[in-house]
Structures are given as C-alpha cells and as structure tokens.
Amino acid sequence: METKKVVVTGTGAVTPLGLNTEEYWDALVAGKSGIEVIQSFDVTLYPTTIAGELKGFDVTNYVDRKIARRLDPFIHYAFAAAQEALDMGGVSKESTTEYGPEKCGMIIGSGIGGMTTFYQQSLDLKEGGYRKISPFFIPAMITNMAGGVIAIDYNFQGPNFSVSTACATGSHALHIALKLIRNGEADMVLAGGSEAAVCPLGLSGFIAEKALSTRNDEPQRASRPFDVDRDGFVMGEGCGLLLLETEESARKRGATILAEIAGAGMSCDAYHMTAPRADGSGAGRAMSNALNDAGIKPEDVDYVNTHGTSTPLGDVGETKALKKVFGEHAYKLKVSSTKSMTGHLLGASGGIEAIACVKTVQNDIVHPTINLDNPDPECDLDFVPLKSVNHTVNYAISNSFGFGGHNACVVIKKYQA
C-alpha cells in the first residue's frame, strides 16, 4: 500500500523572538537573540537571572479573559499558536464540520505542564490550607489540557492526547501525528509542544541541576551552542504547533502546502537520567530511523537543525552522532542551533524548530548559530556561525533529545506537487 504523503499547511509560533511565525523567522534569519534578564519575577538572589521570555504576550488576544484565568500560561501559549496555525491552514471554528471532525486530531504535548500554576497553588496551600486551592488547579496544570480545551473550541473530535518526553516532546508529537495520518486514524492533526516553566520553581530546579548558564552580564551572548566557552543552557518559553494533513485533504480544501513531513524516527539512550551517551549512538539511531522512514539516504539531507542546547556534553555528543550517521557528508551539511537565539523551550523546542525547518526549505535560507565565536575543536562541522547563509535545502532534519534518554528526529522536505 502506498504511504500517504503528509504535508504542513499551517504553523503557529509563540517564541521569545516573536509571537507569530513571520516575526520568529525574520528574527532567526537576522541572528537576533530573545534572551534577557527575567522580568516576570525577582531574580536578584538567583545565580542565573536570564531566560528567553515572551515579550508583549496578551492572552486576551486569543481567548476570553474569564477562561484564561482558569488556565496555565502553557495553555495560553498553545491557544495563540493554534489560532495562527489553523488560520494559516484555512481551518475555522465553523469549518471542521465540513472536513469530518472525527478525523481531526490534536497531539499537543508539554515537557512539564502547568508549573506556574503548581507553584502558585503550593504557596496558596501553605498560606491558607486546602480551602485556598482553586477548583481549576488540576485542569489548569495537566499536560493534556491544552489539546483538550483547544479541541472544544475547534470541534476536533479525532485522536487527542498529550506527549511528555521532556525536551523531545514537540518532535515526538509530530512523529505520532505523522503516523496517525499515515495509518488513516486522522486526516488532519495539530501537533507540537508548549512550555511555560520560567517561574521561580522551574528556574530553581534547573539551577539545582547546575544545567544553566550563569553568563548573566551578557544575556544575549549566554546561549552559545558548540562554542568552547559554553557553560550551560538558557531557559525559554513558548509554543510551536504545526498543522499536518494528507496531501489529498490539503488539495481538496485548497490549502497552501508549506512543506512535507517525510519521515520521523526515535530511540532511547537507556543510559542516564540527564546525560546523553557520550558517543552519540542513541541520537544517531533516531536520525537513522528517521531517514529510513523517509526513504532517503544520508547524503540527501542538506540541513540539520540541531538539538544544540549549549551544554558541554550535549553538543559534543550530537556532533559525534552526526558524524556517525552522515560520515563524510557530515562536513557538507549546513548545521545550526535555533536555541542560540531562543534559549531552550524544553517541550516546545521541537515544535518551533520544526517550524524553522519548514521556513528553511521554503526559502533556502539557513539561520545562523549565533555566539559561535570560538568553536569547540570537538564540534568541527559547519554550524553556520554568526550569520545566515543562502543554501538550497530540499531535505532538513530537526533533532530533539530529552532527559531520560528520549531521542526524536523529524525529516522535513521541500514540497513538490
């Protein structure tokens, strides 16, 4: 049986670089950083005081104020990204009936879920006991609720659940959406990840792990993947969602096709709670599995959007994985890290980075890895330092690796009718 072609007809990006896809992409191409001193709470006494926060986000532009009060910020961000992706794809709250709502699904994940709500309700409990807890506490924080409440708005009655695989969440969601469409369980799926963990509890947790950069005096230069002076990742927040559907569905609706999702792969390191395998073998298997699923050879790939977090172990491990999978072709690839500009959006990173790949194959422009002033000798590939380059990209892959050893890779192809 012929494999169904799965295409992208909409994207929604809510990021530290901009609150929609075009703002986000334009900032990426320009090499801008969205990392600043944290404004949402007092960080005076914290050893890390910087993050990639959203600027100017107002949830009431996307959802009624009364409803918004009942939901965590990670769901707010998902509402905004969903609205953009569905509007771009030509899907309205009224039109899903025409498409068959039982074949419209949502796989919207979160690595952590409603941490802001959890933190605030814990303070309320300590202050006033159980009577201070909101009846909306649990629905506001559970990871599946973003897809749940957005489905109500848009009448998506098909497969709907969340994925939570730490920093691989967004890419795993896309993988599952691809398979649901291929096997006929859905014709259309909104997929990706959302995260809002920049709060006192979230920041403190990663500080305790000694995972974060402390380059507080130079926020925009703190995230520096593959650079010898990197000292940890920078937290970010936001949401990235892609509207996937069959090519047949998109053509029938007259939707504009942006790119094709050609394949996806995953694996597990089965090694350590937080550290990757030093030889990159687990990450390499995810990439190889994705290429096999797409039916392409390593030399067909033109660009890799790396996980590239700016951590000492992770960046070297990913470089080794790329060499393992691509051999000599690794040195011909264009490779870059979105996180050098956005920080690490945790469970949302796979979504916004897949969107970057969609824009890359559309425009044949590869965004840079900023702050790559002194490349680590062990990271010796073409990481497109400092400035964007024009480069024909027919196939791009997006890598996401999460705590627990979870690895995911998505293959994005320039669309050809």
Closest among 61, 171, 72 to 399, alpha carbons compared:
171
As for how many domains the chain has, the answer is 2
Q: Are residues 312 and 251 in the same domain?
A: no
Q: Are residues 238 and 291 in the same domain?
A: no
Radius of gyration of the chain from its Cα atoms, rounded to whole angstroms: 20
Task: Select which of 104, 167, 199, 409 is catalytic.
Answer: 167
Q: Indicate the residue among 210, 225, 259 that finishes a domain.
A: 259
As averages over each run of 10 residues, the pLDDT of the chain (417 residues) reads 87 98 98 98 98 97 94 98 97 77 96 96 95 94 96 95 97 98 96 98 97 98 98 98 96 95 96 88 96 98 98 96 98 98 98 98 98 97 98 98 95 94
Q: Are residues 190 and 282 in the same domain?
A: no
Q: Are residues 61 and 192 in the same domain?
A: yes
Q: Are residues 220 and 324 in the same domain?
A: no
What pLDDT, on a 0 to 100 scale, did the predictor assign at position 406?
96
Adjacent-strand bridge partners of 236: 52
Q: Are residues 395 and 250 in the same domain?
A: no
Specify whether 367 is catalytic. Answer: no
Adjacent-strand bridge partners of 375: 227
Sign of CA dihedral 355, 358, 363, 367: positive
Q: Which H helix or E strand runs over 133? A: none
Q: Are residues 363 and 251 in the same domain?
A: no
Task: Select which of 76, 172, 175, 344 is catalytic.
Answer: 344
| 284 occurs within a structural domain | yes
State the DSSP string of 379-410.
Answer: --S---BSS-EE---SEEEEEEEETTTEEEEE
- 8 A C-beta contact, residue 187 and residue 9: no
Q: What are phi and psi of 415, to 5 degrees?
A: -75, 135
**DSSP class of residue 245?**
E
What pLDDT, on a 0 to 100 scale, did the predictor assign at position 266?
98
Cβ-proximal residues to 273 (8 Å cutoff; 6+ apart), any chain: 403, 404
Q: Which domain holds residue 103?
A: 7-259
Q: Indicate the residue among 206, 241, 259 that finishes a domain.
A: 259
How many angstroms separate the CA atoms of 398 and 152, rounded?
A: 30
Q: Are residues 167 and 267 in the same domain?
A: no
Residue 256, CA distances (Å) to 77, 87, 243, 310, 336 in order: 24, 11, 11, 36, 27
Closest among 135, 134, 133, 152 to 144, alpha carbons compared:
152
Cβ-proximal residues to 87 (8 Å cutoff; 6+ apart), any chain: 10
Q: What is the pLDDT of residues 34-80, one digit of tens each?
A: 999 999 999 999 999 999 999 999 999 999 999 999 999 999 999 99
β 188-195/6-14 pair status: unpaired
Specify whether 104 is catalytic. Answer: no
Q: Are residues 55 and 147 in the same domain?
A: yes
| 1 occurs within a structural domain | no
Q: Are residues 229 and 305 in the same domain?
A: no
Task: Select which of 172, 307, 367, 406 is catalytic.
Answer: 307
Specify whether 167 is catalytic. Answer: yes
| 2 occurs within a structural domain | no
Q: Which H helix or E strand runs over 264? A: strand 259-268
Q: Are residues 95 and 107 in the same domain?
A: yes
> What is the pTM for the complete model shown?
0.97
Cβ-proximal residues to 416 (8 Å cutoff; 6+ apart), any chain: none
Say which CATH number the domain at 358 has: 3.40.47.10
What pLDDT, on a 0 to 100 scale, did the predictor assign at position 92?
87
Phi/psi region, residue 100 (left: phi>0; alpha: psi -120 to 50; beta: rest), is: left
What pLDDT, on a 0 to 100 scale, did the predictor assign at position 100?
86
How many angstroms separate the CA atoms of 38 and 47, rounded?
A: 12
